[in-house]
Structure formats: structure tokens, C-alpha cells
Structure 1
Amino acid sequence: MCDNSVTWSGWYRLFINGLSAQIPGTCVVVYGCGTTIALWIRGGHPTVEDGVVTRDVCGNDGGYCCYHLSVPIKIKACPGNYYVYELVRPNGCPFAYCADVSSINTSSTAITPVAISTVYLSADPCFNYTVLDNQWRAINNTYASVRNCDQSVTWSGWYRLVINGWNAQIPDTCVAQYSCGTDIPLWIRGGHPTVEDGVVSREVCGIWYHCCYYGFYPVKVKACPGNYYVYELVRLNVCNSAYCAAVTNISATFPTVIPVTSSAEKILESLSSANPTKLASYGNLVLKTSEKLISTLVKPTDTSDSVNFTLSAVEGQVFMVGRQVSLDKIPRLDTTNSSMGIDLIGIAKNNNEKSAAVAFMSYTTMENLLKPDFFNTSNDTIKTMMSTVISATLPRTTNTTLTKPVNFTFRHIREFDPSGSLSCVYWNISEWIVDGCSVLETNSSYTVCSCDHLSTFALIMQTSSPPESDSQLELLSLVCVIVGLVFFSLALLTFALCQWSPGVNNVARINICISLLLAHLLFLLTQQFLSVIRPQQVLCAVISGLLHFLFLSGFVWMFIEAVLLFICVKNLSQISSKKKEVLSSGFMCVIGYLVALVVVCVSVGLVPEGYGSEHCWIKQEKGFIWSFLGPVCVILALNIILFIKIVITLNSTLKKLNAEVSQMKQTKIMVFKTLAQCVVLGCSWILGFFTNGNKELEILFLILNSQQGTFIFLIYCVLNNEVRQQYKKFFRCLCCGHKQH
């Protein structure tokens, strides 16, 4: 055998003659399992709590058990003591997976009654099938179809077989040749599953020289409550072959299950049409059915007993106490995403039988029916279901009066918004209401609710509606950022190509332009392609980290420029002499970028999940935004202090200048430079602290912040006489070159 030629798709559960099987977790001998290289998994099987794990796949060469290392596979342990595997194509031939029943417990738990209620919560094949009647060929040929070749049939979805109103099934034993109105009658090998087995795959065989001479694509089979089967049939690859049907061992229960099928189909249709009235109606039906079914699990006991069950769409626990119970208090009832504490002992004491039972269920998909929008509030907010829907009842208990309030703990199943408002609600026929429930405790992970009655409960968060997208503001932002980028580029070209006097140090200004140019360019590209970038969480987090670094480095360079300006003012008395360079370019570059890099690295180390918000920027949760705002505030405060010091120093210095220097001219130049420098150093960012949704302030902040490149170009290039003279020479040469040409 060689599994390299198999098209593996999705998850698989293994069976051998109807028994659950697993891929061996220890070495398999060479030539085992009907192949040369029998594959086994290294690392052992997981537990239910481990979730999905990845395991290496090994093949024995006769000397070393893991000589052949194939492609790893994923494994999950399922409630009910079985495993499922996401199988992939092995590396070569003849490689094949093995199966083993040695360590699988084949006993089933008594949870069948609840399986019926779960079909309402998902697209279960037991309620999504096509009935085939009088199109099927029975083994005795009485109902043979004229279509004796199923290769031409376009099969789609699940099918239930009926012969003249009787439930039928595909035979699971060999069928005689030329039966069922065809040359090659088909049967399935491996037997039919039970309800607990769920959906299984079965090999399809066709008789010719022997019972399984022809092997066809496997079909999926599911046993449904009501004693019938449904099949996901596939197209055949050989003509004159057709599926068979038999009524052996199947009872004629078809008419009795039609109402259930109709109800389930209506529920599924209502999910797509989203009619609130229908959703509420079918939600109530599910709740009532579930409560009736779970009450069948209650059994008399003198002490205490419990029953747990876990299914794909619902999980729960039933706890019972009797007259001779020795517990001081009821143990906590737990499901994956919720738990409940109730004084069942006190309730039992108030009953004549001195017994009581509590049923606690958690529905994973119930919010599709009982939507959070059914929580009617006066304010216009967005409602989000923050928990699974749970239900608590006291089945087969005479006096259901609570002695103490019941506490429920909900684990948040969605990201917690600190600005949102949480409400513990219960379901009242057609809507969620709050009466009798309150929030005791909450954090980012879970919320504890207290209620004075039992019902169906949930945790709903209300958040403010996001502001509508303003196309004009977005267009203004795009234009402003592009204009700012253009002037940043012009300023960089000017600093790089123009000749400056020896006393002028442009290192800080060049690096300010580089940092802010890259930051604004990256931000612009990110917002333009946000729909593509946002789903890539790692890429979004990396971009937000780069933006953090670039903007911070821009602020650090602004501070360095302020320090240089302060030093310039301090040395104003020596303005006519040749000044010595106070700070080396290399030292400034280290400070300018290292400080920002250290802040970002520390932020990543402390809160690695803080990057990658909805707009690929720093997240607001846990105050992580202060990893940016904190350093910005410090630098702005230092710049203000330096500004004050510059003004004081400038005033005192100019009074001491000799008469050869024009005091008035120098005063005007230095004050203008100081004020302009203050704007360039980031005073526009102060405005960002006071916008608070004010549209006018947001527009002003947008314009000022995006035009930092324009300010730098105007102050240091256009308003600089030396630079203007060089501009004139450049344009004069350019014009002369055109004239000569």
C-alpha cells in the first residue's frame, strides 16, 4: 500500500471493524500494516486539554525506528476517548499510515439523549439530506432503477435511502454480482457507525472476481437519532456500477421523523434569512428540547452523583444530591467557558424528598439564534456576545426556590474592550433582559455574574458605534501627507546638495527628515493597503513597531536639535568667531536612534501583544499607548524647558553684544528661529492630546502634523538667504542650459 497517492483533505477518525483506532505511538516493524514503510507518530497522543498538537511521523528501516521522517501531522483528542488526525501526503512510496486498536476504550457513555438537541445548533447531515425513494435498486432487484450506472449522477451533499417508505441502507456485506440492476453492485466495508461515532468514512467495494475487486472513493456515513443512516455519496469511476440498498435490520420509522426534519430545516433556513421572530421561536424550541432531554439524565441517589457530557455544540453537567448527602456545599459545576455555583444542598433541604438536581449547559453556537441584538436598550450601541449562552435548571425538583443567589463565571470568548459596558442578561421568551442579574466582578479574561433566579443567561457588552467613515477627511489626510512627503524630500535634497557655512550643523535636521519621511510614508502605505495587511497579524504588529520606532526617533532628533540651538544661543557672544563642534555627528546618530530602539525593545519585552491594533498601530489596552505617549511627553516637556531657557539666555546675551553687531537684527533672527524651531520640534503634537473626537481640532492636528516637512523646508531652506542664492544659481544654470540647447 502507498498513501502518497491519496488526496488527503481535512480531519480523519480511524476505525477497524467498527472499533475506534489510533495511529501507533511506538515503533512499527518493517513490512507491517500491508506496506514496506509503516508510519507511526513520535511524541505520543495528546489529552483533551492539550487541544490540537503536531507530531512527527516516522518510518522504520529495520535498523532505526525513525530513519524515514515524513511530513508532520496534527492530532486532537476528542471527548469520548478517541482521536482525529489531519493527515497529509507522506514523503514517498511505499509509505502508509498504520492503525491500532490496542489502547482504545470502546465503551460509550450514556449521553445519547442529548445528541438530539444538538442537531438544531449546526448544519447536521441528519437534517440536511435528500430523500431518495424509488430511485434505488434493492438487492432482490424488485426496485431496480433503469439508471444502472451511477457514474453519470452528479451527487451533491447527503442522502437518506428509502424503498417504498421503508428506511434502507447500503449493504455492509458482500453483494452478489449483477444484483441491484447493475453489473457491479456496490457495498461498504467496515460496518455502519453508531450515533456516538459521528461522521465516519467507509470504503466502497464492488464485486467482480471477488467481493472487493473494485475499490472506489470512500463515502461518509452518519447514524442519525431515529434509527436511520445518511450517506455523503460521491461519483464513481467505473460505469455499470451502482450503489445498492437493503432494508435488512432497518425499521420503518421514516414517517415519524419527518416533523423533526422539517423543524430543523426551518431553523437552518431562518439562520440565513435572519428573521428575528423565527430566530427567537427556534431558540426557545432548542432550549425547551434540551431541558427535557437533560432531565432524563437525572436519576435517584441517596448521596450524590453527577453526569458530564461534551458534544460539538453543547456541553454540560448534571449534579444530584439525596437524603444522605455528606457534602457541606455543592461542588462547582464547570464547562469549558463557564461555571456555576449554587446552594443545591439548601434547596434539597427545602424539599420533602430531601433531594434535588441541577442541570448546567453551555451552548457554543446558540448566539446564532438568540442574538445579542435582542438585548433592547434605549441607547444606540453595538451589542457583542462576550460569552457562550448557558442554561441552568432544577430538573425533577419539587421546590425550586433558591436559598441564595446563583453565581455564574463567564470566560470572555472575544477581545475585551475596556470602554464597553458589560451586562449579565437572561432570556425572556423574545429578548435578553437584565432584571435580577448583576455584575459582581470583571477583568479582561472573565466576568462573574450574580442572579436571583435560574434561566438561560449570557454576558453582553455594549460599545459605542464607530464613527462613520468621512471620505472628505480621508481625502484631506491623503493629500496632506503626500504634500508633507514631497517637502520632506525637497528639504533632504537641499540639505544634501547645497553648500552651507562651516558653522551650520545639519545632522539633526537631516535625520529628522529621514525619520519622519519614512514614518509618514509607511503610515500612508499601511492605511491605503490596510484591508490586505490587517489579516496578517504578524506583519501588522511589525509595522506598528516600526512606526513606533520612527516617530520616536523623530522626537529624539527634535530634542537634539533643541539642544544644539540652546548651545548656539549660549555661544552667541562668540558668533563672529570660529566655533568648535560641540557634539560629534557619530555621537548624535547613536543617541538619536538608540534611545528610540531601546524604548521599542523594552515595550516589546514587557507587552509583546501590544502591537497590531485595528489600524496597525499601538493598541490602547492596558495603557500600552503610553509606551509612545510617555517618551513624547518627556521630550515635549524638555523642549518647553529649553525654549524658556533659550529666551532667557537670548535676552541676556544680546544685551552684552558689542556695537559691531546689530542688536535689533540679531534679536529678530534668533527669536524667529526659536519660535519656528518650537513648531518644528513637535508643538503640533500637543494638539493631539485635546482632540477628543472634535472634528475641527482633528483637522487642525492633521494639517499641522502632516506638514512638518513643509515647515522644515520653509524655515531652513526657503527663508535662508544663503540657500535662496544657491536656488537662484541653480535655476539660472538650468535656464541657460535650455537656451543654449
Structure 2
Amino acid sequence: MSMSWFVHMAVILHTVQVIIFTQALCFICVFVHWYSSVNIVSVPPNISSITTVAPETSSAVINITLQEGCTSQTSGGCLQNLLEQIENITAQVLPLSTVTNILMMAFNASENILESSSSANPAELASYGNLVLKSSERLISTLVKQTDTNDSVSFTLAAVEGQVFMVGPQVPFEKIPRLDTTNSSMDIDLIGIAKNSKERSAAVAFMSYNTMENLLKPDFFNTSSDTVKTMMSTVISATLPKTTNTELTKPVNFTLKHIRDFDPSGSLSCVYWNISEWIVDGCSVLKTNSSYTVCSCVHLSTFALIMQTSRPAESDSRLDLLNLVCVIVGLVFFSLALLTFALCQWSSGVNNVARINICISLLLAHLLFLLTQRFLSLIRPQQVLCAMISGLLHFLFLSGFVWMFIEAALLFICVKNLSQISSKDREVLSSGFLCVIGYVFALVVVCVSVGVVPEGYGSEHCWIKMDKGFIWSFLGPVCVILVV
């Protein structure tokens, strides 16, 4: 090879080295520039954090941290520290994604507390509830933005739902729409509040807490009478964030959907949370039915609907024993009657199909009823199972009455003819035809009842519910059978 070839190769290699060095230098400069522009928040070991940069209008950095030991089993100190960090947020406006992420973090921590400290005293629960409420209202206030006309923001999480509505000086309507969540809604004269404000603007924040009743329990509603308190709605809160004049021009109406069965004998109270207890000052029931209640309040706060019912009388052990003995004796005699009708056939002209099926229906119904009442404490929490049992009891008892009607009809035919039934009558009154009448009629009634009122089954005793007149799905056919 010639010397010139080596010279050319050396020049080429040198050029390549220069290019690589130049590119590496440029990459380092770009990396240093990018690194210096990032606001790095140091996190100690064993700390999990959510770091969120506020909008361009604010230079604050939101850094919410939760210790690693608090993620699986949160203590009261962990939750309190987390909520204090939320309260110390200085940013005035935050994006919706940031607010929802922090809310999920806070409510997950509160749920962990309930799971790990089921025996927490009422004072601690009330304190945790106050912290969660205060932090939630602080967070949702950061969703309020200035507007000349109107604007709204809403979100839905597993533990909480929220909606914020804002109006400005040039709002184009005289009344804002109703603020709705899954189980509640609110009507407020926000336009009137804005007109009385110096800035001619106002904002309302409406939140519905699906799990807050675990902290702010209905037993915190202190009354003079010893009654059973039941939370009938989700806990809701309403505030006027970033509004200078918070005086209401009209009472605020809340429509609260009942989340539990309504007892007609119970008393409903619209209450609001006051530091450590539920009280009724300034709130009243405007309208109610079996599905929802409308509460009217002259102030904004945290509200709920609580039902008071009389405490059930203590069961008499002797009466329970007597009931058990009677049901068992009835089952024995039903079994003996079933064996007698099934095994003994005195005459070929006598049809025992109706009698056998009466015994089968009532035997199964009483046996299921006995087992259900004995294990009611285990069955009642399983709402689907309880509803299925009540539907099956409805079917069995109704079948018993239908078979009684069939037996009466057969006796009438026998007495009328005073002789062996004709071949045509035998064909019409065959066992298969009778079974179709005896069971299909009851099945049709149950299916129609389920279709018309799906929630009609599954009362406190796993039987037909008494509200909405659903009991007539059983009493109606029975009365018709007895009359006919």
C-alpha cells in the first residue's frame, strides 16, 4: 500500500473523532441546560410522593408525600400529616387532574385508617372527619377560576364526587342549573349572591362523599330520645369559595336520594355537621317520599339525612323457643302427610296430586323460612341472597294457595258429578296439567313482580318489602283465591 493511502485514512479517522467529540459536547450542553431548568424535589428514602407543578400563573410546586410505612396501613399521624400538607398548599388554581389525584390519596389514607383501627373512639373519628372535610374543601376551591360569564368543573371518584360552578359579571342567564351528583343535588341562587358581591361574581362548590359516614357516624346525632340512627343519604358539603359576599339570598334546597330502605314509621331529620356532632339548626325537611328527601337550609355547611327509628323490642327467648317448636312440629306433620298421600292410594278415582303438592310447597316454604330466620344475621348482609330467598318464599307460599284452590276445584267437581270423572275430565285434569296451573301461575306472578318493582324483595327479615304497596303482589292473588 502507498503512503498516501495511510495519510488519507489518518485524516478520515481524525475527522470522525472530531465529529464524535463535537456531538458529545453538544449532547452534554443540552443535558446540562435541561437539567438546570427542572425543579428537582429531593425525597428522602422510604418516601412515596406525588409531585405536581402548578399552572403557569403560579410558580409554586405541589409536593404531597406519604411515608412508605403509611401506604399499606395508615395511622392517624400519617393521615393528619398528609392533610396538613394539603392545607398548606399555596397555589390558588390547580388543574383538575392534580386535585383528583390528591383527593384519591387522601381518601385512600382515610379508608386505611378505618380498616386498621376499627375500635377508634368517636372523638378521633370526628377529628379525622373534620380534617378530611377541611382538606377537601381547600382542594376543590383551587378549581375556581375567574370568568366573565360562567364556567363549571366536575369530577367523579369512588369516594367523592364534586361539581364547581362559577359565574361572572356578564353571566347570560338568571338562574344556574341544578348541581347534580349520583345521590344528591343542590339548588342555589348563585346569581343573586353574585349580584350582591362587589366583584359581581361568585362560585359554589358542591361535594358528595360516599364513604364519609364511616367517620361522621349517624350516632353523632344526639337526641333526647333513645332511638336507632341510620344514615339515609351520602354526606354532602356546599361552600362558596373565593366569594367575598357569602350571604345567601334564598334558602338552599338539597335533594338527597335514600341510600337505604325507608321505614315509614321512622322520623327523618336534615342535619349539618358542627365540629363534633350532627345538629338540625337552620335545616328542615321540605318534602319526602320513600325514595328521596328535599332539605331546605338557610346556610351552607356539611349536610346529611338521618332517620330515627324506635329500638326493636328485645326478643323473648321463650317466645322464640315456642315458635321454633311449632315450626318443627308443623314440618313433621307436613312430612307425614306427604308420605301418606304419596304412598297410600285408596281409589283410582281419587286424585292426590293437589294434596301432595300442597304439602311439598308448604313443607319447603316453612323449612326455608325456619333456616332463614335462624341464620338471618349471616344472610342479611348478602343482599342478593336475601332477595333471592324472599322471592323463593313468595313463590312457594303462593304455590301453596294455588294448590289449595285446585284441590277445592277438584272436590267441587267430585261432589257435583257424584260419580267417576269422565274420560274428558280426566284428560283435562291430568297431573301434568294441574302442575302447570299450580306452579306456572305462581311463577308468573313472581316474575311480573320482579319486573315491575325489582327492589321489592329483601326486607330486613328477607321477605317482601312493605313499602310501595309491594306486599299486594302476595296478598292480592291470595285474596282472589280466597274469594273465589
Aligned to 1:484: 330
Identity of aligned residues (%): 78
1: distance between equivalents of 2:385 and 2:132?
43
Q: How far off is 1:368 after superposition?
A: 2.6
- Residues 271, 340 of structure 1: CA spacing in aligned structure 2 closer, same or farther, 3 A cutoff? farther
- Does residue 1:438 correspond to 2:294, yes or no? no
2: distance between equivalents of 1:316 and 1:396?
17
Q: How far off is 1:567 after superposition?
A: 5.3
Q: Deviations over 1:446-487 (max 9, x none)?
A: 433221222221122223334434433332222212212222
SS of 1:426's partner is strand
- Does residue 1:580 correspond to 2:436, yes or no? no
Q: How far off is 1:403 after superposition?
A: 1.3
- Does residue 1:337 correspond to 2:337, yes or no? no
Which moves more between the two structures, 297-306 or 407-416? 297-306
Alpha-carbon contact 1:423-1:438 (below 8 Å) kept: yes
- Does residue 1:447 correspond to 2:447, yes or no? no
Counterparts in 2 of 1:364-403, with a 5 A limit? 364-403=210-249
- Does residue 1:194 correspond to 2:70, yes or no? no
Q: How far off is 1:273 after superposition?
A: 4.1
2: distance between equivalents of 1:257 and 1:538?
40
One-letter amino acid matched to 1:551: F
Counterparts in 2 of 1:20-419, with a 5 A limit? 168-169=44-45, 194-195=50-51, 226=63, 228=65, 230-231=67-68, 260=84, 268=113, 272-308=118-154, 313-419=159-265
Aligned to 1:461: 307
Q: How far off is 1:354 after superposition?
A: 2.5
Q: How far off is 1:631 after superposition?
A: 1.4
Aligned to 2:341: 495
Q: How far off is 1:385 after superposition?
A: 1.8
Higher RCO (C-alpha under 8 Å, 6+ residues apart): 2
SS of 1:194's partner is strand
- Residues 619, 403 of structure 1: CA spacing in aligned structure 2 closer, same or farther, 3 A cutoff? same
Which structure: greater helix fraction?
2
1: distance between equivalents of 2:130 and 2:46?
37
Aligned to 1:524: 370
460, 464, 472: which is aligned to 1:618?
Answer: 464
Alpha-carbon contact 2:233-2:305 (below 8 Å) kept: yes
- Residues 501, 358 of structure 1: CA spacing in aligned structure 2 closer, same or farther, 3 A cutoff? closer
Aligned to 1:142: none
RMSD over aligned Cα atoms: 4.1
2: distance between equivalents of 1:589 and 1:295?
67
Alpha-carbon contact 2:256-2:292 (below 8 Å) kept: yes
Q: How far off is 1:349 after superposition?
A: 1.8
- Residues 481, 431 of structure 1: CA spacing in aligned structure 2 closer, same or farther, 3 A cutoff? same
Aligned to 1:690: none
Q: How far off is 1:167 after superposition?
A: 5.4
Counterparts in 2 of 1:671-710, with a 5 A limit? none
One-letter amino acid matched to 1:580: Q
One-letter amino acid matched to 2:420: K
2: distance between equivalents of 1:617 and 1:336?
28
Q: How far off is 1:374 after superposition?
A: 1.7
Alpha-carbon contact 2:49-2:65 (below 8 Å) kept: no
- Residues 554, 322 of structure 1: CA spacing in aligned structure 2 closer, same or farther, 3 A cutoff? closer
Q: How far off is 1:597 after superposition?
A: 3.4
2: distance between equivalents of 1:293 and 1:409?
24
2: distance between equivalents of 1:316 and 1:502?
74
One-letter amino acid matched to 1:435: D
SS of 1:346's partner is helix
- Residues 225, 370 of structure 1: CA spacing in aligned structure 2 closer, same or farther, 3 A cutoff? farther
Q: Deviations over 1:692-729 (max 9, x none)?
A: xxxxxxxxxxxxxxxxxxxxxxxxxxxxxxxxxxxxxx
2: distance between equivalents of 1:404 and 1:460?
24
1: distance between equivalents of 2:233 and 2:331?
46
SS of 2:398's partner is helix
TM-score where L is the length of structure 1: 0.47
2: distance between equivalents of 1:499 and 1:318?
77
2: distance between equivalents of 1:414 and 1:625?
19
Aligned to 2:408: 562
One-letter amino acid matched to 2:219: D
Q: Deviations over 1:473-526 (max 9, x none)?
A: 332222212212222232333334456367765444333223322322333344
Q: Deviations over 1:662-698 (max 9, x none)?
A: xxxxxxxxxxxxxxxxxxxxxxxxxxxxxxxxxxxxx
1: distance between equivalents of 2:260 and 2:213?
13
Aligned to 1:592: 438
- Residues 308, 600 of structure 1: CA spacing in aligned structure 2 closer, same or farther, 3 A cutoff? closer
One-letter amino acid matched to 1:360: F
625, 630, 649: which is aligned to 2:476?
Answer: 630
One-letter amino acid matched to 1:474: D
- Does residue 1:510 correspond to 2:356, yes or no? yes
Alpha-carbon contact 1:441-1:448 (below 8 Å) kept: yes
Alpha-carbon contact 2:65-2:82 (below 8 Å) kept: no
2: distance between equivalents of 1:514 and 1:456?
55
- Residues 514, 377 of structure 1: CA spacing in aligned structure 2 closer, same or farther, 3 A cutoff? same
2: distance between equivalents of 1:608 and 1:347?
43
Structure 1: gaps spanning 5 or more residues: 1-165, 172-191, 198-223, 235-255, 639-741
Alpha-carbon contact 1:271-1:369 (below 8 Å) kept: no
1: distance between equivalents of 2:83 and 2:406?
79
1: distance between equivalents of 2:444 and 2:65?
67
Aligned to 1:174: none
Aligned to 1:244: none
Alpha-carbon contact 1:271-1:368 (below 8 Å) kept: no
SS of 2:170's partner is coil
Q: Deviations over 1:180-219 (max 9, x none)?
A: xxxxxxxxxxxx863469xxxxxxxxxxxxxxxxxxxxxx
Counterparts in 2 of 1:651-670, with a 5 A limit? none
Structure 2: gaps spanning 5 or more residues: 1-41, 54-60, 72-79, 88-105
Q: Deviations over 1:90-129 (max 9, x none)?
A: xxxxxxxxxxxxxxxxxxxxxxxxxxxxxxxxxxxxxxxx
2: distance between equivalents of 1:597 and 1:287?
50
- Residues 360, 473 of structure 1: CA spacing in aligned structure 2 closer, same or farther, 3 A cutoff? same
- Residues 343, 378 of structure 1: CA spacing in aligned structure 2 closer, same or farther, 3 A cutoff? same
Alpha-carbon contact 1:387-1:460 (below 8 Å) kept: yes
